[in-house]
Structure 1
Amino acid sequence: MVLDDTLLADPGELASRDTAGDLRAAATAGAQIRSTVFGAAEAGVGSLAGFRPRALVLLRRPGVSGAAADLIQALLGPRCPVPVVVADEVPGWIGPLDVVVGHSVLDTDAELATSVELAARRGAEVVLAAPESGPVAAAGAGRIRLVPPRVPVPAGLGFAHAITTMLSAVTALELLSPAPAEGFEALADAVDAEAERCQPNHEPFVNPAKSLALRLAEHTPLLWGTDPAAVAVARHGAVTLATQAGVVAHAADLAQAGTEGGLARAVDMAEREHDVFRDPFDDPDPGALPPRLLLIGTGEEDPQAVSRMRLGREWPGADVVHPVEEVPRGTRDAALLRSVLLAVRLDMAAIYLGLAQAGGA
């Protein structure tokens, strides 16, 4: 589809197309974080303090939970004092010495209900972000710490609820070192600021989400993370682009993607063959959509420098997505702050892209 770029500068038209209120919902990430912190406290997640599990199991279910689990695993890193297992279902060895953390927006997820029931029956500690009614909640009724969403949003926009629930669990278990500063308030403030930058009344040249939507339009996005947390963000980006805009994207670790010769050649060819004079309205179907490479970073080093170190080359035409202006180098919890901030930006960019495509909703 061809992007109607004039629509991105028209807040009124955006509002009229956004009948589901997705932009407003995406902007509630800060509210989701704050309300989830209260929900986790009421659910007794803090009582896990002092417990050292044999293993931490992060459940990956359909939707945003997979990227959230990957991000938690990345933040814990190889120095985590307990094994971290990311799985679709609770493993058969689960027992009373283990902790299971999961998220789902589907209260009828039969596989998750089975996993929750098994873990609870075996005596494992279970923290679950899910609706408070339905088969999933009933599977662990009275035996698990349930953190239901308090800010209603469409299914694809609950990343903040998922990541905050998981962070609450690993923070209580004292597995994340150092623990997030000032509780979760700094995280909520960071995503509030990002939502303000990305709000519909801001012109594309000062709105990072609109700018990103323009860059991705009529391209196949290649979202390559230059550090483990950035890879998780890239995977979230691929999910949200598919959910909100019907766009198929490739998300991967830079070191792996850069060795996949066909993709690397496609990026190089797109840079050489880019025609700034092509009119998409006169020639709406140039064939396969050219790739648009985004180098995503959440660490301290510039993504291009990481590319030089890991692959021995740079990608001159790549869009570097590395929010060091928003979260300066040296900031405590920088990788966490940048990761969740970028998840919000990608959500809003995907929504803008979906709304502005010709023939969109």
Structure 2
Amino acid sequence: MVLDDTLLDDPARLAEADSAGLLRATAMAGAQVRATTELAAELELADRLDVGRPRALVLLVRPGVSRTATQLLAALLSPACPVPVVVSDTVPGWIGTLDVVVGHTDDPGDRELAASLERAVRYGATVVLSAPPEGPVAASIAGKGILLTPRIPVPAELTFPRALTAGLLAANALGLLVANLVDLADRLDAEAEKNHLAHESFVNPAKALALRVAEHTPLLWGLDPVARAVAAHGAHAFAMHAAVVCDVSDYRQALTRPVLHRAAVGSTTERDIFADPTDPAGLPQPRVLLLSVRSGPGPDALRHEAEDLLTGVDVLAPAEEFESDEPTRAAVLALRLELASVFLGLAAGSIGAAAGTRP
């Protein structure tokens, strides 16, 4: 990766490099939340899901951001959810009238999903689907399920806020989770403003994060299950926009890999600023990012333990910046990682105008 770090603090060049408008589209996360919430209200989603406690909540996983959004929703629901939460690629064979199915896809022609949803509605399950309005997928639940179509046009790789909002709306309506969608949209707007391309890197958290990750191998280690799910989305974003491969792990699991953990400890110690950033084998050094969403005695104790071992480690903990519920903290952290990945991709030339000029 050849990084042009001067690009990040030159708004005019940065805007020119972002020929596809990815920064603007990413910053529309709050708008996606509001649009999806408004559509759900128009479709009377809350009333239609007022059917009592379901036998099971089935969360469908499809390629793209559907996977990371579903993993995050499942983590937010656990461990206190009063009904079984089943994460599956397709609708299980035992689906019935007492079950609720929630899913997101950006592929209107996903025939495997369409056939699966047809089976769900045929057996009387309640279906909430976030998907485009045309194609076999939408047709599979026409007149029988609740279809939340996109109202904010963004590339498929940036629909994570819409996918998550659809799941949160369903969980709220079923009484399985309490998420403040108004606050969520406002916080996402505030995060986008904080990370505006005109703000210099020393006051722009996403730019600063991009520079910290550059020319390193990011180790995205979650201090709680929700943070671990956000880390998975961050890894997806870094791979998608910046061609950067990340390690994703629960911090306790990371402790069971002694060689990598030892390298991580070494990477957080004081280094010579003139030292070669690569190791003797020419490989990028690891950069540990500890992610924290939940708070309380358990998560806080684990964080203190990690900070004692990893001196000077980067900790991304939204709870230190603002007060809000877990879904909002998780979504804001996911957005910061997405923006950092776009900034890094633009500075490295893996996306944007520079990428288009490469052979």
Q: Provide, for residues 105-155 of structure 1, a one-character-per-residue CA deviation record: whole Å limited to 9, x for no partner.
A: 111222211221111111110000000101111122211110011101111
Name the CA shift for 1:262/1:103 in 2 (closer, same or farther; >3 Å). same
Residues 2 and 284 in structure 1, CA contact (< 8 A), matched pair in contact too: no
C-alpha separation in 2, matches of 1:276 and 1:340: 34
SS of the equivalent of 1:324 reads helix
The question of 1:204 aligning with 2:201 is answered yes
Cα deviation, residue 326, structure 1: 2.8
The Cα of 1:42 is off from its aligned counterpart by: 2.6
- For normalisation by structure 2, the TM-score amounts to 0.92
SS at match of 2:318: coil
Contact 1:100 1:127 (C-alpha < 8 Å) held by counterparts: yes
1:294 to 289, 293, 296: 289
Instruction: Provide the C-alpha distance between the structure 1 equivalents of 2:209 and 2:117, rounded to a whole number of angstroms.
Output: 39
Deviations 1:155-191 (A, max 9, x none): 1111110011001101011111xx234xx11110001
Map 1:79-118 to 2 at 5 A: 79-118=80-119
Shift of 1:57: 0.5
What residue in structure 2 maps to residue 306 of structure 1? 302
TM-score normalised by the chain length of structure 1: 0.91
How many Å apart are 1:272 and its aligned residue?
5.2
Structure 1 residues 89, 285: CA separation in 2 closer, same or farther (over 3 Å shift)? farther
How far residue 304 of structure 1 moved from its aligned partner, in angstroms, is 7.0
Specify every segment of 5 or more residues in structure 1 that has no aligned partner in the other structure, as ranges.
Answer: none
Deviations 1:26-82 (A, max 9, x none): 000110000000122233321202421100001111111222112222222222111
Q: How many residues align?
A: 350
- What's the counterpart of residue 17 of structure 1? 17
**Equivalence for 2:3:** 3
Which portions of structure 1, spanning 4 or more consecutive aligned residues, are displaced by more than 6 angstroms? 283-286
**CA displacement at 1:258 relative to structure 2:** 2.0
Q: Give the counterpart of 2:223 among 218, 222, 226.
A: 226
User: Which residue number in structure 2 is paired with residue 260 of structure 1?
Assistant: 257
Structure 1 residue matching 2:101: 3-state secondary structure: strand
Q: Which of 312, 320, 324 in structure 1 is aligned with 2:315?
A: 320
Amino acid at match of 2:337: L
Please name the residue that 1:65 is paired with: 66
Cα offset, 1:357, TM superposition: 0.8
CA distance in 2, matches of 1:188, 1:285: 46
Q: Which one is further off, 207-216 or 142-151?
A: 142-151
Preserved CA contact (<8 Å) 2:265 2:311: no
Deviates more, 1:252-261 or 1:291-300: 252-261
- CA shift for structure 1 position 275: 4.0
Cα RMSD of the aligned pairs, angstroms, is 2.2
Name the structure 2 match of 1:126.
127
Percent of residue pairs bearing the same amino acid type: 53
What is the distance in 1 between the residues matched to 2:339 and 2:295?
A: 24
Does the 8 A contact of 1:327 with 1:337 survive in 2?
no
What is residue 248 of structure 1 aligned with on the other side? Answer: 245
- Which amino acid in 2 is paired with 1:84? V
Gaps of 5+ in 2: none
1:244-273 superposed Cα distances (whole Å, 9 cap, x missing partner): 111111112111122122321221233458
The residue type equivalent to 1:88 in the other structure is D
SS of aligned partner of 1:15: helix
Give secondary structure in 2 for the equivalent of 1:111.
helix
Deviation at 1:211, TM superposition (A): 0.3
1:193: which partner in 2?
190
Q: How far did residue 358 of structure 1 move? A: 5.0
| Structure-2 change in CA distance of 1:274 and 1:134 (3 Å) | farther
Alignment partners' CA distance in 2, 1:29 and 1:23:
11
